[in-house]
A and B are shown apart, each in its own frame.
Chain A
Amino acid sequence: MGNTGNVVIIGASHAAAEAISTLRRAGWPGQITLIGDELELPYQRPPLSKAYFKGELEFAKLLLKNEAFYDKAQVNVLLGKRATKLDRQQQSVMLDNGESVFYSHLILATGTRARHLPVAGHDLPQIKVLRTRADVDDIKSALPQGGKLLIVGAGYIGLEVAASAIKNNIDVTVLEAQERVLSRVTGEHVSGFFQKRHAKEGVDIRLGASLQSFVNQGAKAYAKLGTGEDIPFDCAIVGIGVVPNVELAQDAGLACDNGILVDEYARTNDANIFAVGDCANHFSALYRNRIRLESVPNAVAQAKTAALFICGKPQPYNQLPWFWSDQYDIKLQTAGLLSGYDRSEIQGDPDEAKFTVSYYKQDKLIALDAINAPAEFMKAKKAIIEALSAN
């Protein structure tokens, strides 16, 4: 370890690329070490269920920064290695190959993993999750032309993959336990709009579906439903949400509660350890609540916050959460969090595929969904920040 310190980043994705860029730009003089359990340099994840799935983008185009960037920033890049243990006394990270790396500052950017589906047959080889580039390659190689894809869970990932796969002439069935799609992230108007569109494109969406088990029979695998129906598939993707990867932090005694708890500077309860992105749970001054976000903009902004703090240039993190999803030619942009809304208002015409839904809590605008309405989305971001900051 050099006498100027070593910032170690665990997790090689969006947050890591941003942290490295900000550290060097803000003048971090010491070492930087990047540890990632995948084999690739940090790459863009959102296109995995969209352009990359459809085969429109080659992998090289997904890299967030080119290789030269990491050389120039003098980053010690350790890929294909998993961090197995933190020793906060020694300030070291143990790796799965037995090596240890010492840190002066540690940034945990460990992300999330797919939630487990607790039904019989969940471990059949045809049943996959979609988190990484390797996952997508694996899924695609399991799907012949005209093959049958089963998607469990009608969230963002499930629906984006459904839209991508059906355009590639794959037969798609989506099972959703709730009575509408995207129920966790949007209101009824937007759910209804997406259900209609997917149905029109030929996706078979089963709402209120009760999945009992998976079985292998002959060449095909089947999903057995509570109704007695068997749905055959070549490949199934389980997209029923994610759980934050907090075990490293938790085992080291860091405070966790639905994510690793951090303050507005991305600091954990250990002064030398920061947590950012999907694995972190921060206090949002805007929503006056602790929140854990699954979003690229949040990961990037929190990474910047942690890096600036390490460089002695603290800037509190207080961004409005926002999200987007591309399905077919539809762009959904969501500004803010709609949790707890008591009234919603639709503007525009869903039949024209251009409308917005505003969500209010006690007459205060807290969130907005914009369907093919980017200007309204941009305006709403400002309006929501104003509404939440008032009083």
Chain B
Amino acid sequence: MSKITFIDYQGNQTEVEATNGDSVMEAATQNDVPGIDADCGGACACATCHVYVDAEWMDKVGKPGDLEADMLEVADGVQDNSRLSCQISMSDDLDGLVVSTPESQY
């Protein structure tokens, strides 16, 4: 199990325990974390699980893949630290991860 902290656009924090191998999106939806819609359920088809990765975690989380980068290119409110949370797989390395959610998903 690894811990993830979600911070919504108003600064409210939610901590959840994620099973390693689950995506950050799955951990969020299963625990009903606000700010992540995940309309497509993790198929990388909708860009409604957009998160901002905390600066300290950027290196460990890494860059988006090609498909994901294409989606992010046209999503709203994209920053350098934007990722689709369905494409981030949890592991011991990411224990303690901090991400923020946008005010609304595309």
Contacts and interface: CB of A to CB of B under 8 A. Distances in A.
Contact of B74 (A72, A324, A378): A378
Given A331-B45, A333-B45, A374-B44, A64 B29 contact: yes
A62 B80 CA distance: 31
Interface in A43-89: 44, 46-47, 61, 63-66, 68-69, 72-73
A272 B43 CA distance: 35
Contact of B70 (A63, A66, A375): A375
B88 to A, nearest CB: 16
Interface size classification for chain B: 20 to 34
A378 B41 contact: no
B70 A374 contact: yes
B40 A296 contact: yes
Contacts of B45: 324, 326, 331, 333, 374
A297 interface: yes
B70 A296 contact: no
Interface in B40-78: 40-41, 43-47, 67, 70-71, 73-75
B10 interface: no
Contacts of A61: 22, 26
A65 B30 contact: yes
B39 A296 contact: yes
A333 B40 CA distance: 11
A130 B70 CA distance: 33
Interface string A293-304: 000110010000
A288 interface: no
Interface in B10-52: 22, 26, 29-32, 34, 37, 39-41, 43-47
A200 interface: no
B7 to A, nearest CB: 17
Contacts of A378: 47, 71, 74-75, 106
Given A47-B41, A331-B43, 18 more contacts: A21-B32, A44-B41, A46-B43, A64-B29, A65-B32, A66-B31, A69-B32, A72-B32, A300-B37, A300-B39, A324-B43, A331-B44, A331-B67, A374-B47, A374-B67, A375-B74, A378-B75, A378-B106
A337 B71 CA distance: 21
Nearest to B67: A374
Contact of B34 (A25, A68, A73): A25
Interface size classification for chain A: 20 to 34
Interface string A356-391: 000000000000000011110011000000000000
14 contacts: A21-B32, A44-B41, A47-B41, A65-B30, A66-B30, A73-B32, A296-B40, A324-B40, A326-B43, A326-B45, A374-B71, A375-B70, A375-B73, A378-B75
Contact of B31 (A69, A324, A333): A69
A373 B74 CA distance: 12
A375 B71 contact: yes
B62 to A, nearest CB: 19
A333 B84 CA distance: 17
B2 to A, nearest CB: 16
Nearest to B39: A297
B94 to A, nearest CB: 18
Contacts of A373: 70
A333 B70 CA distance: 13
A350 to B, nearest CB: 18
Contacts of A63: 30
Contacts of A21: 32
Contacts of A374: 44-45, 47, 67, 70-71
A297 B30 contact: no
B47 to A, nearest CB: 6
B74 A379 contact: yes
A104 B71 CA distance: 42
Contacts of B74: 375, 378-379
B75 to A, nearest CB: 7
B46 A297 contact: yes
B50 to A, nearest CB: 11
A173 B18 CA distance: 41
A374 B43 CA distance: 12
A304 to B, nearest CB: 9
Interface in A305-360: 322, 324, 326, 331, 333
A378 B39 CA distance: 14
Contacts of A44: 41
Interface in A274-303: 296-297, 300
